[in-house]
Amino acid sequence: MDIQYEIIENIVVLSESPKGWTKELNLVSWNGRDPKYDLRDWAPDHKKMGKGITLTKEEVLKLKESLGSFN
Amino acid sequence: MDIQYEIIENIVVLSESPKGWTKELNLVSWNGRDPKYDLRDWAPDHKKMGKGITLTKEEVLKLKESLGSFN
């Protein structure tokens, strides 16, 4: 099955591996649906996607709040 | 193959699904190795793990920084 996706907004690239895979937080629309926040590994040029997890806006806000004292 | 893991610290529970699965940021040690930050879905009582992604401390710090203006 083909998964259609569109990266609406790149929020941050967290890191890049020696092979060029990047760990990114993006706003992604899957199969034309409403976009979700998405923390995931991507191959160079976003040609392949690795493991990741989607987040709602509420979850991102709660994550932000919880990281306030992280150091 | 059995994966051994130990949740060293629960940082935040971001949400809970109607079936009781929770999306959490934890500090997790996999197979006795140095702990990593881990954003993942978990079944009730952490009996099963769902999809997720591990993060280094540097990645969590960069994520925190990037979310500073998120609202």
- Out of B56, B58, B63, whose CB is closest to A12? B63
Q: Say whether pLDDT at A47 is over 70.
A: yes
Phi, psi angle pair for B54, to nearest 5°: -95, 155
Average pLDDT of chain B? 94
Q: Give how far A22 is from chain B: nearest CA, Å.
A: 11
**Cβ distance of B70 and A61 shorter than 8 Å:** yes
Look at chain B and report how many structural domains it folds into: 1
Q: Say whether pLDDT at B37 is over 70.
A: yes
**pLDDT value for A36:** 97
CATH number of domain containing B10:
2.30.31.70
pTM, 2 dp = 0.91
Range of the domain at A22: 5-67
**Cβ distance of A53 and B59 shorter than 8 Å:** no
Q: Mean pLDDT over residues B15-34, rounded?
A: 96
- Out of B53, B59, B61, whose CB is closest to A53? B53
Whether complex ipTM tops 0.95: no
Average pLDDT of chain A? 94
